[in-house]
Structure 1
Amino acid sequence: MSMLTPPGMGGKYRITGDKFPRMRRPRHRHRIVLAALAAVVALGLAGWGTLQLIDVFSGDGKKNTAVGPKPACKPSTAPAKALPKPGQITVNVYNATPRGGLAKTTADELKKRGFVIGKVGNAPATYDKKVPGAGLLLGAPTASDGPLTVLGTQLKGATPKTDTRKTPDVDLIIGTAFKTLNVQEDADQALAVLAKPAPTPSC
């Protein structure tokens, strides 16, 4: 009888042999699965990093990181503006100040500069002694971008304004702040700038 057989037990309950059953720990399969997943992720990251390095050194990346001098901006030449010549502009000169003789002397100077002189005298009651600035330039709406612009180069600080007239002539109403017309050299230079604006850079 084996030593493992309890007393009084025999027959089919008798334990024989010298080998005993051993208890094994259950295998942790989830650890194996996690390890496999970690290996896959590591391989994926390694492959992605390799592709990035290839793009950087081969220059095939979408982003252009090259640093170099910027292309020079080319000046764009604006077309010359068609402005009327002083000889094509008829100017009426009115004096809205208490000082006498300003309309006559101003008209004479404008005539020397090539303008055609129309009426010369005191300003109408609407503007007499009511023009605080250097002067007021009056003309039809169609004259705002032509004759009034050219006449404005002759008197600094003059205010352009349109009225309801249908005639092509324009008015120069001398205001209380008037001293003298611009120097002819400055007026000619301002007129040249208007006729041919300076080129602006375009990139």
Structure 2
Amino acid sequence: MSRARFERSVAYHCAPALVGLKPASLISLSAEDYPALPRLAADYSRLLAARGIRMEVLCRCRRRFLLLVYRPALLERCLRSAPVAELLAETGYPVGDSCAALLRRLSSRITAGGAFPHELGLFLGYPPGDVAAFMAHGGSNCRLCGEWKVYQDVEGARRQFQKFALCRSALCTRLAQGRSLLGLLGAAEYPAA
């Protein structure tokens, strides 16, 4: 497992969360390629804590890990907003629980099997109206498909998608030039092995 490869994957898939444009991003990583991912995520979380960024394995099966990269303060604010809290309550999340408790509940819903918990979009900062419409329409009839399926504010979503693409490009370009993800985020470097 290469830390450089891990950083490139995280930068590409999670750039908007890493720079604070959204509260969280989710990435699926191969357990074969990253057998020590839980330890690696914990190490990066520790090194990035002062920058307000966490990494947490939400789910692990035999073949894959689902890694959540998030900004706890931003995610907490997002989950406490009235429309998000209302939709979470409608999908069975206890009102008023902490962000950590809501993440544990989400993790247990993912690992339980059965229907995928599409309320995950709320944790990723998708507009609650789009998440509700996705759940109501089973993912059909969206007006735009990009970072998420858009049912309401198409122009606002397009602008957001462009910001995400620019941020992803800038971060990945700097990594390709030899910089480390930790260095780009202003964190302490990973200890030498």
Q: Same fold (TM over 0.5)?
A: no
With normalisation by structure 1, the TM-score equals 0.24
Structure whose CA Rg is larger: 1
Q: Whose helix proportion is higher, 1 or 2?
A: 2
